[in-house]
Amino acid sequence: MLISHFMTPPRSAQRNVNIVASTGDRDIMRRRTSRCSLHITDLPDEALVTVAYFLPKPSAALFAVALAAPSSSWPKHYEAQRQPPAISRAIVSSSSWDSLDFEDIEKKVAKKLDDDDLFAVLACIDAKNTLKKLKTSGCVNTMGRGLSPLSGSVVLEQLDLISTGQHEDVSNNSHQPFDGECFISILTSIVEAEDNSLKQLELPISMRIEGSNYLDSNPILDTFLERYNRLLEGRRLKCSKCDGLCLNANQRENQWVVSERGNERWGYQMFTCNKCTRNFCNDCRDIFGERHIDHCDNCRKHYCTDCVFINACECCPWFVCEGCAPNAGSCEECGLFTCCRETCNSCSETRCKQCVEYHWCEGDGCSKVNCGDCFQGKNQDVDLCNHCWKKLCSNCRFLDCVKDWKGACTGCLDSIDGMVGLDEENEKLRREIIELKDKLHIHW
């Protein structure tokens, strides 16, 4: 679905392409397999715009991109300053694009997006002149090049490049590669733009890990952080509570963004809330006497207590925000407030890990857990096979055996013997249903 001046289809496809003229400047090439078939571009522009209106913003932008050209061709056309087709522009103009968060789409979709897709979305919505907040949650396959349409932006206020989802453990994507030189050149063009609006930057976790290592050295990245720190210091930003300068309020923190190599918080922006982007000094306290801004050890972001409450776990040294620890609360046995508590799938008791040991199913995507009492007793759902030493729940053990009945562990087969009988009965019923459908079809 491409306009003729935006992209030329390959010769092999031209035999199946009809160029249909329509109202305005919408000349769309439509592939048809027969005269009776319909294509999405046969729908009126108003219908497509209405459909896009009910989609999450990232999905609407991807829809507009798909109606124009493949993502891989957008850099070339963007450089040539070619405009997308009218329908894409109509979809984009029907919404405001001051904020874009890929957390709004399914994880499995965000995970498939690469730099070409991110580039196409940002170019399509004219992000350089419209976008104020961008969060690339879930975009684990982007390496930084896709941010190019933001180069030189003076409207961008927040850029969150932590690719894990909101309130997820960032260690899962700690090794996400980034094209450092290209990535830093884009950020530098934003920081050096006159009258830029950048307030808060969340660097990728992989870069933070690199910076926290004494032995690693990246002059390009270090130079950028110096520039960014000078930018923020030059603004003499004040605390939203006490109206004092954030840096002067606490001498222990003498930088907006920690840039000292080897510091475990290298790359952290210390005084800015990730949610509201307001600034707070470390001297201000909330009604409970706690710092008004602190960072979560799980998602590695700073929040003010007006937006997200951060709790100190009494069982581990972590400070965890309420979003990262939805199960945080008091242990039913010892009464301590902790983020290290679990609810057993067998007995349904919620206790901390100091009071009882927990055993998790090792199956892919399975979250079943048993407390030590149930695991050692007869009420367990998660069990350890004494032959293959796999710790699985009954369902995951059955699925593991189904992959290879002949090569399956004898201990696992013995434990699922009853389930095998049910599976054979289900297969017999399935065949009977197929036979019945065939007979009914013949009768009709």
Question: Tell me: the pLDDT tens digits for 248-307?
Answer: 644 456 789 988 888 888 889 989 999 999 999 888 887 777 788 888 888 889 999 889
User: Which residues sit opposite 281 in a β-bridge?
Assistant: none
pLDDT score at 28: 42
> What is the spatial distance between Cα 62 and Cα 119, in angstroms, rounded to a whole number?
11
Cβ-based neighbours of 390, under 8 Å, separated by 6 or more:
362, 384, 397, 400, 409, 412
Burial bucket for residue 362 (CB in 10 Å: 0-12, 13-18, 19+): middle
- First-to-last C-alpha distance (Å) of the chain: 41
Alpha helices in 147-305 (DSSP H): 180-191, 205-211, 219-234, 246-249
pLDDT score at 9: 37
Least confident of 31-45, 97-111, 299-313: 31-45
Under 8 Å between Cβ of 305 and 272: no
Instruction: Decide: helix, strand or coil at residue 352.
Output: strand
Burial bucket for residue 328 (CB in 10 Å: 0-12, 13-18, 19+): middle
Which of 280, 203, 290, 277 shows the shortest CA–CA distance to 238? 280
Encoded amino acid at 439, one letter: K
Average pLDDT, the chain: 80
pLDDT score at 98: 95
Least confident of 9-18, 51-60, 66-75, 302-311: 9-18
Q: What percent of the chain has pLDDT over 70?
A: 83
Buried b (16+ CB within 10 A) or exposed e, 291-307: bbbbbbbbbbbbbbbbe
pLDDT score at 441: 63
pLDDT score at 287: 77
> What is the spatial distance between Cα 138 and Cα 113, in angstroms, rounded to a whole number?
9
Crossing angle, helix 115-124 and helix 57-66, to 10 degrees? 90
Q: Which tokens is 418 given?
A: 């009853």
Confidence of residue 424 (pLDDT cuts 50, 70, 90): low
Q: Evaluate the CA torsion angle 99, 100, 106, 111 in order and state its sign.
A: negative
Under 8 Å between Cβ of 279 and 233: no
Indicate yes or no: pTM above 0.75: no
Cβ-based neighbours of 5, under 8 Å, separated by 6 or more:
27, 82
Q: Which tokens is 180 given?
A: 């450092």
Average pLDDT over residues 340-365: 85
